[in-house]
Amino acid sequence: MTTVYVADTGVFVRCGGPDKEKFQRLRRAVRQAGVSLCVPKRVYEELGGDPAADAYPSGNIPYPDGFEEGWIVVADDLDYTTPLVSTMMDETRRFIANETDRDEDLTEKADTALVGLAAQLLDTGEADHVVLLTTDKPAGRAAETLLPQHGFSDRIEFRYVSVTYLETLTADEFR
């Protein structure tokens, strides 16, 4: 059974800062378990997209090391022509708009990238099981609520990445 771990921007922000202890802990756990963290293109762009964020200790994230070492990988582009992917993204947009009490027009396609990727991984058979590591609660809840409605019961898990989660993380979390 293949489990794919999808990681969001918030995971890496939690790992930032002058002491890289949480980043090293994450690195060790992922590598010991012999898995990798898969990031949507959108997340990759968010992490590198703002030079002004370098002024923040938590904006100083050594994630490029993860790409070099191969334990962080960028996911394939989302194929919006796949019926499941486009349906999931539409439904997720509505779900997030509702959870956040915003107009649906104000949520963007990019907001749904995490759930879209989870749907694509399950649909193509690349993953039997997807674990979503994120601080985006609306998106996490959308994945947990909507994917089971499309036949993926028990195959999606949302983990909220708190400080405590990262401070106590071991390889067991990825096995």
Residues in touch with other proteins (CB under 8 A): 9-10, 13-14, 16-18, 46-47, 49-50, 52-53, 55-59, 96, 99-102, 106-108, 110-111, 135-139, 141
Where are the alpha helices (H) located in 2-108, listed in sequence order? 9-14, 21-32, 41-48, 63-69, 83-99
Nearer of residues 11 and 122 to other proteins, judged by Cβ: 11
Nearest distance from C-beta of residue 3 to other proteins, angstroms = 24
Nearest distance from C-beta of residue 1 to other proteins, angstroms = 30
Nearest distance from C-beta of residue 100 to other proteins, angstroms = 5
Nearer of residues 62 and 151 to other proteins, judged by Cβ: 62
Nearer of residues 46 and 91 to other proteins, judged by Cβ: 46
Query: Is the CB of residue 163 less than 8 Å from the CB of residue 15?
Result: no
SS3 content of the chain, % helix, strand, coil (to 5): 55, 15, 30
Nearer of residues 36 and 107 to other proteins, judged by Cβ: 107
Tokens representing 14 are 């939690």
User: Hey, which bits of the chain come out as E strands?
Assistant: 3-7, 37-39, 72-74, 129-134, 156-160
